[in-house]
């Protein structure tokens, strides 16, 4: 403590006693980074946004802007939690961390602020693996459920592309026997054989199912003839039966050979008729 005596017009005036350190900060201006003293210790005048410790909004850095306050940095450590800085719960807060009481000097408002420790970065989520669209269910739908026109739309767009869409038609010869267009049924029949084998599914059971579907597709062609053209439907089914019989007994190769023989028969018949 000290006593200040002022002489004014020859009169001695004795001021009241003033604390030498703490109260000095209330009288003299403190520039940023100047030393200041607070109840919890010595600090420096700092912008509150830069203060990691306790800041005092009580004029310890007088005449400075409101956001410049006395900042006292006191380290603290919370067992099993980690290190931090003592801060005022009321005035400073603990952005991005948590307050812990009982480890800082001063009243209950002064607590240890421990920032959350960032863990290892979360690895990026791997891109989902695109499922293979060429499943047994997709094969069965195209082969046995879809209409021949729906199948041909998928074939023309090669969708899905993972299927084998190649074909050799009904044979190396033209695909209309006696005016019956069996080309699309032959293409679906090729699809059934090729992809069934590629998928490892082509056993005797699947072969029979594919061959029976081939017969259904051929008969659908024949069923287009009615009324006065009914006789053509009968002949068409007879030719279809020949196709299917050879296919069931010998496989797709014999289907193509049968097509060639029937083509030859048609040519011989037309030649005999002078057509």
Residue 248 sits in a domain of what CATH number? 1.20.90.10
- Exactly one of 30, 188, 189, 255 is catalytic; which is it? 189
Rounded Cα gap, residues 207 and 213, in angstroms: 10
What average pLDDT is seen over the chain? Answer: 79
Q: What is the pLDDT, as a whole number, of residue 257? A: 62
Residues 209 and 95 in one domain: no
Q: Which of 204, 210, 206, 218 is nearest to 144 (CA)?
A: 210
Q: CB of 70 within 8 A of CB of 50? A: no
Q: What is the pLDDT, as a whole number, of residue 60? A: 82
Rg from Cα positions in the chain: 48
Tokens 């690895």: give the residue.
123
Among 85, 115, 145, identify where a domain stops.
115
Rounded Cα gap, residues 139 and 94, in angstroms: 62
Rounded Cα gap, residues 220 and 270, in angstroms: 26
Asked whether residue 130 is assigned to any structural domain, the reply reads no
Per-residue tokens: 99: 């307050």
Residues 179 and 90 in one domain: no
Q: What percent of the chain clears pLDDT 70, i.e. is strictly above it?
A: 76
Q: What is the pLDDT, as a whole number, of residue 215? A: 96
Could you tell me the pTM of the whole model?
A: 0.50
Task: Considering only residues 50 and 100, tell me which one the structure prediction assigns the higher pLDDT.
Answer: 100
Q: What is the pLDDT, as a whole number, of residue 25? A: 47
| Cis before 90? omega within 30 | no
The count of structural domains within the chain is 2
Please check the confidence at residue 7 and state whether its pLDDT lies above 50.
Answer: no
Residues 167 and 107 in one domain: no
Residues 54 and 100 in one domain: yes
Asked whether residue 122 is assigned to any structural domain, the reply reads no
Rounded Cα gap, residues 67 and 71, in angstroms: 11
Residues 180 and 262 in one domain: yes
Q: What is the pLDDT, as a whole number, of residue 18? A: 39
What are residue 15's phi and psi, to 5 degrees? -75, 165
Residues 72 and 162 in one domain: no
Residues 167 and 250 in one domain: yes
Residues spanned by the domain of 13: 5-115
Per-residue tokens: 69: 């306050």
What are residue 14's phi and psi, to 5 degrees? -105, 120
Asked whether residue 123 is assigned to any structural domain, the reply reads no
Among 115, 150, 178, identify where a domain stops.
115
Least confident of 17-21, 76-80, 97-101, 261-265: 17-21
Residues 142 and 212 in one domain: yes
Rounded Cα gap, residues 225 and 72, in angstroms: 101
pLDDT tens sequence across 203-212: 999 999 999 9
Active site residue 189: yes
β-strand 41-47 against 180-181: which pairing, if any? unpaired
Task: Considering only residues 135 and 90, tell me which one the structure prediction assigns the higher pLDDT.
Answer: 135
What are residue 99's phi and psi, to 5 degrees? -80, 145
Asked whether residue 35 is assigned to any structural domain, the reply reads yes
Rounded Cα gap, residues 189 and 171, in angstroms: 12
Q: What is the pLDDT, as a whole number, of residue 3? A: 44
Q: CB of 74 within 8 A of CB of 104? A: yes
Asked whether residue 25 is assigned to any structural domain, the reply reads yes
Asked whether residue 97 is assigned to any structural domain, the reply reads yes
Asked whether residue 37 is assigned to any structural domain, the reply reads yes
Most confident of 95-104, 249-258, 260-269: 95-104
Per-residue tokens: 32: 């940023």
């Amino acid at each position: 403590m000290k006593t200040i005596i002022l002489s004014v017009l020859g009169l001695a005036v004795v001021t009241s006693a003033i604390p030498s350190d703490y109260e000095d900060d209330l009288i003299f201006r403190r520039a940023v980074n100047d030393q200041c003293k607070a109840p919890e210790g010595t600090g420096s005048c700092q912008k509150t946004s830069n203060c990691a410790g306790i800041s005092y909004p009580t004029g310890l850095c007088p005449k400075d802007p409101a956001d410049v306050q006395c900042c006292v940095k006191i380290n603290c450590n919370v067992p099993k939690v980690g290190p931090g800085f003592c801060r005022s719960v009321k005035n400073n807060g603990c952005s991005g961390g948590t307050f812990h009481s009982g480890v800082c000097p001063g009243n209950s408002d002064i607590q240890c602020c421990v920032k959350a420790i960032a863990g290892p970065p979360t690895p990026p989520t791997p891109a989902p693996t695109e499922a293979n669209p060429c499943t047994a269910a997709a094969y069965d739908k195209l082969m046995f459920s879809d209409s021949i026109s729906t199948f041909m739309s998928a074939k023309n767009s090669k969708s899905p592309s993972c299927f084998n869409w190649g074909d050799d038609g009904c044979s190396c010869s033209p695909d209309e026997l006696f005016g019956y267009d069996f080309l699309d049924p032959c293409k679906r029949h090729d699809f059934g054989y090729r992809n069934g084998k590629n998928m490892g599914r082509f056993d005797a059971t699947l072969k029979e199912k594919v061959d029976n579907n081939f017969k259904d597709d051929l008969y659908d062609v024949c069923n287009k003839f009615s009324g006065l053209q009914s006789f053509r439907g009968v002949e068409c089914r007879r030719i279809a039966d020949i196709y299917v019989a050879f296919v069931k007994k010998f496989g797709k190769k014999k289907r193509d050979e049968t097509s060639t023989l029937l083509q030859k028969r048609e040519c011989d018949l037309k030649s005999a008729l002078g057509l």
